[in-house]
Amino acid sequence: MKIYVMEQSGVEHTLEGVEGWRLMSVIRDSGLPIKAECGGACSCATCHVYVADEWLWRLFPASSEEIDQLDGAFEVQGNSRLSCQIILNEEMDGLRVTLAPGTEA
Amino acid sequence: MSNQTHTTDAIIIGAGPVGLFAVFELGLLDIKAHLVDILDRPGGQCTELYPEKPIYDIPALPVISGQQLTEQLMTQIKPFNPVFHFGQMASSLEKTTSGWRVTTDAGTVIEAKIVVIASGGGSFTPKKPPIKSIGDYEEKSVFYAVRKKEAFKDKHLVIAGGGDSALDWAISLHPIARSLTLLHRRDEFRAAPHSVAQMRQLVEAGKIKLVIGNLTDLRGADGQIEAVILSTAEVACNTLLAFYGLTMKPGPVAGFGIDMKNGLIPVNTENFETNISGIFAVGDINWYPGKLKLILSGFHEAALMAQKAFRYVHPERKWRFEYTTSSTSLQEKLGVRD
């Protein structure tokens, strides 16, 4: 499965997604600059991404914990998610996200 | 600034779980320790990032929270009376004739035979909004902490954030500020319910202005802000206090003159010593082939580190390997012997 991740600069990367993995782990392990400092515990908001509109409704909705945690992120929008809370499955082949400001490693 | 010099056996930089357990392993070998940490309490990431989150891979503890793990470690090391220097950053390291001297940014000076770097992912510092010009205003009209309330007297103050720090300071500073605007991205607050209720009352009474929006830019000149700019509006002000939580930044360790590789300190896995004799590195800050950033790895590293530390601190004494289960001398140190 392919995941498309755009940096703030506009450069897009095609990553190989793994079913069952956190989107954050796929981005981090690819070497892209994502801080993801708590390692996936929904505790730091430094893996903030913007999800492409056409994908937003196809994801499992954010938990109240994730929404609270987004208070520690910057420039939060309606399509903001924490990538550690998006667990990949085959239906997400082609998922498109942009790394948000303030998450640079 | 306190200029008192403390003298001890070991200086541990970082009071996270691995720094705390290092106190235990050193203590069993009669090595006293002082710890320095930028946070105001022990536990490091465990208490700062995930105090309530369960940890499942501490041996023999099927589940424990970051807060509980820290409390248990504090209980475990109590017999060794470690001295903590909280709210301070170890800013310099120098060689002395008999060992090492660490000076903190608060002016505390500690001298010891050995130094243990257990600084994990770095120093916790406030998250800064990703606004290019923000550095021009910091410590002049943009702040991330309140050191003296008086500094905010008669200011047109904007407080950004929705957690306890933002609400507590909004409630505390509104009587002395000329005006106070609370800025948050949504009309919901994760702060303590009683603070939220109090804030709502103050907004109702017109004492605090509540603005919902995202901080996107600043307007001002020569270090003095004139307004904070939101996606949809701007708020005139002359002071901004931003509370978006903490993040880890590489600390001053990189300037200590120790060999580093990609921000980590390579160590000898026999004793977790760095390239400099008498300086050790344990936990997430070190690197060696096969390294895993796990708390349990850090515990193991601390145990091996202490054996080598003993040779520096007590060179005249013969090293003996003992078990706490059977050694009367270890049990006396732990205060568990009748």
Using one digit for the tens of pLDDT, what is the confidence trace for B134-146? 999 999 999 999 9
Q: Is the pLDDT of residue B42 over 60?
A: yes
Instruction: Please spell the DSSP secondary structure of B46-86, one letter per residue.
Output: HHHT-TTSEE--BTTBS-EEHHHHHHHHHHHHGGG--EEEE
Q: Does B126 touch chain A (CB under 8 A)?
A: no
Which residues 33-92 of A are in CB contact (within 8 Å) with B?
A: 35, 37-38, 41, 43-46, 68, 70-77
Q: Which residues of A touch B190 (CB under 8 A)?
A: 68, 71
Q: Is the pLDDT of residue A75 over 70?
A: yes
C-alpha distance from B20 to closest chain A C-alpha (Å): 20
Using one digit for the tens of pLDDT, what is the confidence trace for A18-57? 999 999 999 999 999 999 999 999 999 999 999 999 999 9
C-alpha distance from B36 to closest chain A C-alpha (Å): 22
Q: CB A45 to CB B53 under 8 A? A: no
Q: Report the residue from A43, A70, A71 with minimal CB separation from B49.
A: A43
Positive/negative CA dihedral, B148, B84, B121, A21 = negative
Q: Is the pLDDT of residue B197 over 80?
A: yes
Q: Does B125 touch chain A (CB under 8 A)?
A: no
Q: Report the residue from B53, B185, B245 with minimal CB separation from A76.
A: B185
Does domain B5-125+248-334 bear CATH number 3.50.50.60? yes
% of chain B with per-residue pLDDT over 90: 95
Q: Report pLDDT for B289.
A: 98
Q: Is the pLDDT of residue B43 over 80?
A: yes
Q: Report the residue from A41, A74, A102 with minimal CB separation from B53.
A: A41
Q: Report pLDDT for B232.
A: 82
Element (H, E) at A64: helix A64-69
% of chain B with per-residue pLDDT over 70: 99
Interface test with B, best of A28, A29, A34, A43 (most B CBs within 10 A): A43
Report the amino acid identity of residue B72: Q
Backbone angles phi, psi at B11, to 5 degrees: -110, 125
Interface test with B, best of A28, A29, A42, A44 (most B CBs within 10 A): A44
Q: Does B182 touch chain A (CB under 8 A)?
A: no
B93, B211 contact by CB (below 8 A): no
Q: CB B49 to CB A41 under 8 A? A: yes
Which residues 1-30 of A are in CB contact (within 8 Å) with B?
A: none
Q: What is the mean pLDDT of chain A?
A: 96
Q: CB B247 to CB A38 under 8 A? A: no
Q: Report pLDDT for B4.
A: 77
What separation in angstroms does the CA of B114 have from each of A48, B27, B204, B292, B335? 41, 14, 58, 25, 25
Q: Report pLDDT for B2.
A: 54
For B128-244, CATH number? 3.50.50.60
Q: Which tokens hold the place of B281?
A: 């590195």
Q: Report pLDDT for B318.
A: 96
pLDDT (mean) for B269-275: 98
Q: By CA distance, what is A103's nearest residue in B?
A: B130
Q: Do B5-125+248-334 and B128-244 show the same overall fold?
A: yes
Q: If DSSP codes are grouped into helix, strand and coil, which group holds residue B219?
A: strand
pLDDT (mean) for B226-238: 94
Q: Which residue has the higher pLDDT, B250 or B57?
A: B57
Q: Which residues of B touch A72 (CB under 8 A)?
A: 127, 163, 244-245
B26, B307 contact by CB (below 8 A): no
Q: What ipTM was estimated for this complex?
A: 0.91
CA B45 – CA B222 distance, rounded (Å): 36
Using one digit for the tens of pLDDT, what is the confidence trace for B308-320? 999 999 999 999 9
Write down the domain spans for chain B: 5-125+248-334, 128-244
Place of tokens 């996107």: B216
Q: CB B184 to CB A38 under 8 A? A: no
Q: Which residues of A touch B163 (CB under 8 A)?
A: 71-72
Q: Which residues of B touch A76 (CB under 8 A)?
A: 185-186, 214
Domains of chain A: 2-99 (3.10.20.30)
Indicate the pairing of strand B123-126 with strand B246-249. Answer: antiparallel
Question: Half-sphere exposure (CA, 13 Å, Cβ side) for B78?
Answer: 8
Give the residues across from B123 on adjacent strands: B249
Q: Report pLDDT for B3.
A: 65
Using one digit for the tens of pLDDT, what is the confidence trace for B81-128? 999 999 999 999 999 999 999 999 999 999 999 999 999 999 999 999
CA B110 – CA B210 distance, rounded (Å): 46
C-alpha distance from B48 to closest chain A C-alpha (Å): 9
pTM of the model: 0.89
> Predicted confidence band at B338 (pLDDT cuts at 50, 70, 90)?
confident
